A = this chain, B = another copy of it.
Amino acid sequence: MLVVMRNDATEEQVQAVIREIEKMGLRGVPMPGAIRTAVCVLGNKGPVDAALFLALEGVKEAIPVTRPYKLVSRETHQESTVITVGDVKIGGGEPVIMAGPCAVESEEQALTIARFVKKCGASIFRGGAFKPRTSPYSFQGIGEKGLKILEKVRQETGLYVVTEATDTENLAAVEKHTDIIQIGARNMQNYSLLRLAGRAKKPILLKRGMAATIEEWLMAAEYIMSEGNPRVILCERGIRTFADTTRNTLDLSAIPSIKEASHLPIIIDPSHAAGRRDYVIPLSRGAIAVGADGLLVEVHNDPTHALSDGMQSLYPQQFEQLMKEIERLKQFL
């Protein structure tokens, strides 16, 4: 249930609606919009009686919400959400490029790549400090040391930084040292981690699970929002199918699906989807043309010696080429 207030409703009237909801043993979350406020009713198992609210002052209408998710839904929040990180706006019409190596390997490596992607026009630096790895024997990232390198990257280059929090233990450190907290595909349904991310003060970049439906993905975002963090960026990174010329199948139809169902921004990670650097440029062009709010791209100064996932990292000259193509494509939008 969504209780939509009149344009001229007072804060006191909004609070009265919330008190009424709480009397029913439920929660009322105000969702302020550009021209009016709506109050979202959470915690009900079945339908809630609209008449109760319509009788209150300042209430315009009470709309039953038909989807299982509420806070992330475009039904409850019609305008697209723009997430601001410093002077970067994600979801604001201009695609945002997040680029960097799969893993932070050293200060020198990170700074070299960061300066390069900055020069090419990227606004956010990506790099893993904690790496979730299929094998316990694989390189697991350099941990906290990597976070400090990311902080240095921000100081030296002015790029904002995003990195993955792989568990409830390292999320606080990731929040402290970086600008955007990534939740990886394997953790999309790690509800303890989602809840903690929901109490963080930084935006969350939530990757789609390899076998997650659009609804399950939005429910994961709902976990974050229901804890109080409204700043969620969705990231499609390929789904698991029978197709075998790419590591995963990039599902670009997720963009219109998300735009229809939710007000949250969505970006695309072509590097993990394809698993092959040669497909990253064409798929990036496709993502932007379909309407993605940004890209998350892997680039490395020396892919053949990368400690992690070199196969899918762009060579510097390829990244430069990508940025030129995106720049031209932006004029089309």
Chain B residues in 8 Å Cβ range of A241: 239, 241-242, 249, 251
Which of A187, A211, A286, A287: most chain B CB closer than 10 A? A286
Chain B residues in 8 Å Cβ range of A240: 211, 240, 242
Which of B191, B210, B219 touches A166 (beta carbons < 8 Å)? B191
This protein's copies in its complex? 4
Chain B residues in 8 Å Cβ range of A190: 167, 186-187, 190
Which of B134, B273, B329 touches A216 (beta carbons < 8 Å)? B134
Interface footprint category on A: 35 or more
* Cα–Cα distance between A288 and B252 once the two chains are bound (Å): 13
Contact with B along A281-321 (1 / 0, CB 8 A): 01101111111000000000000000000000000000000
Q: Does A84 contact B (CB under 8 A)?
A: no
A interface residues (Cβ-Cβ under 8 A, vs B): 42-43, 68-69, 132-137, 166-169, 186-187, 189-193, 195, 209-211, 213-214, 216, 219, 222-223, 226, 239-246, 249-257, 260-261, 273-274, 278-279, 282-283, 285-291, 328-329, 331-332
| 16 additional A-B residue pairs with CB within 8 Å, beyond A135-B222, A252-B286, A289-B329 | A42-B137, A134-B219, A136-B223, A136-B226, A167-B168, A211-B242, A214-B244, A239-B241, A239-B243, A241-B241, A241-B249, A245-B254, A249-B249, A256-B279, A285-B289, A328-B332
